[in-house]
Amino acid sequence: MKIAIASDHGGFALKKKIKKYLIEKKYEIKDFGTNSEESCDYPDFARPAAEAVAKGDFDRGIFCCGSGVGVSITANKIKGIRAVNAYSEEIAKQSREHGDCNVLTLAGRDKYLDPELALKIVSIWLATPFSGDERHLRRIKKIEG
């Protein structure tokens, strides 16, 4: 599986942990930046990463910012992206089973999401297949328009 990863300064530390985890698990990844904790604008990194996922260059994307909200909003502006800002293992699982979400966004600040929980969320989200149930397909088609 090919995964696009991206973050701003607020998600940089978590992105580094996720990147290490993905490499250990033998995923093919591309890091769209940022490359430091210096203040920057999350759309500069989330947008190109989301566009690459939507185009089919990557199977999925994992994006981090301080709260996970900014990168989620940015990703969801791209046609073909279904991004979820997951904050629990159950939300991660359901987002894949029901919504076939192709981008996972996470809060990089510890006050919002514990980094160890974030890695569990990543693991579950990557391992969970889309159910393919008719009701979920119908809803996804309505989202896509």
Does residue 64 carry a catalytic annotation?
A: no
Are 118 and 112 contacting, i.e. CB atoms less than 8 angstroms apart?
A: no
- The catalytic residue among 9, 40, 64, 98 is 98
- The catalytic residue among 64, 65, 101, 136 is 65
Does residue 9 carry a catalytic annotation?
A: no
Please give the helix or strand (H or E) that residue 91 lies within, else none.
Answer: helix 89-97
Strands, E assignment, 1-145: 2-7, 28-31, 60-65, 83-85, 103-107
Residues 6+ apart with CB under 8 A from 62: 3, 4, 5, 6, 15, 18, 22, 103, 104, 105, 106, 122
- 87, 93, 95, 99: CA torsion to nearest 10: 180
Please give the positions annotated as active site: 65, 98
